[in-house]
Amino acid sequence: MRVIFSGGGTGGHIYPALAVLERLKERQLLDEVLYIGTEKGLESRIIRQKQIPFKAIELQGFKRSLSLDNLKTIRLFIQSTRRAKRILRDFKPDVVVGTGGYVSSAVLFAATRLHIPTVINEQNSVAGITNRFLGRFVDRISIAFPEVASQFPEQKVVLTGNPRAQQVAGMQSNQRLTDFNLQAKVPTLLIFGGSRGAERINAAFLAALPELNQKSYQVLFVSGRVHYQKIQTALQGQTVAANVAVVPYINDMPTVLPDVAVILGRAGATSLAEITALGIPSILVPSPYVTNDHQTKNAQSLVSHHAAEMITEAQLTGTTLLKVTDQLMLDPARRQAMGEQARQLGVPDAADRLIKVMQTISH
């Protein structure tokens, strides 16, 4: 199968594509691949680092307020659609897969104009603006949350889950906690505000630290590289007990997850795919700064199935952090029940499901 992937801007739009690509290779279904993104997006670095063929187009997103810059966006979209058509004609893909981000708009739209089979993957419970636009033109729409189905043409929608889930499903403990001077067998709370960190989560951790130092469980706190120096300054003169580890970032985060008892963090699509695939109880603090407040809706999907707790960013303090984490960390039976509910929401064969859709429309 000859496949073009397009998606970018954030890891949440890139890693699902990489998960499908990895699975295609494992199943020996891939003849040739090309990834189309922008030079400015995160995808240009990640895809090239993995030595995947990459071509760039120039595009930008729409401003949500009235702006003359949107005229430039329209011009770039038209130009990028033309360039995408040239790339598509040269590569001759069997199918084109879009995983979100404005870059995929021109590529997938161009593919539909050339009558090349197309599928988009929507990872969130609220459809992004690019996927809402493309939903009218593409052949199939792969979704991770049932709640988003109503935002697309019903006959095109297929529930596949987030392909990222298949990369982590079944991962076993490898005692990575010892890398952070923590004990391998002690129940551990992971506090993680995303790759860049989250100021409100960091502030709540600092406020709770004196009491966390005294807990019978462990805490692995990831500040984010951007905030690490500020955290180190704030910790001067404070005690950080042996049951607490403070780090700026964790490379290959999924390898740590099987050893974690509870996660407190954001509610991005990739995080939730990993959490549900592994059946990890979670305390979700949705980012209020994302489009359409989709992280809150993502979190509510888990909360409604008793698979997670949720604290809004406005509610998050050292006191509320301690209260909710103690309720789970000190109650193994409740953790187990919540973890089982989370696992039931996971889709451990999500990449294979999306590949089946690709095969169906490309024949």
Residue set of the binding site for UDP-N-acetyl-alpha-D-glucosamine: 10-12, 124, 195, 250, 295
Among 135, 167, 162, smallest CA distance to 354 is for 162
* Residue among 30, 32, 4 at smallest CA distance from 17: 4
Rama region for 194: left / alpha / beta (φ>0; ψ in -120 to 50; rest): left
- Binding-site members are 10-12, 124, 195, 250, 295
Q: Which residues pair with 33 in a beta bridge?
A: 3
Task: Decide if 343 contacts 153 (C-beta within 8 A).
Answer: no
Which SS3 state, helix, strand or coil, does residue 5 take?
A: strand
Q: What is the dihedral of CA 141, 145, 151, 155, to 10 degrees?
A: 40
Q: How big, in percent rounded to 5, are the helix, strand and coil portions of the chain?
A: 50, 15, 35
What phi and psi values does residue 341 have, to the nearest 5 degrees? -65, -40
Rounded to the nearest angstrom, the gap between the alpha carbon of residue 96 and the centroid of all alpha carbons in its chain is: 21
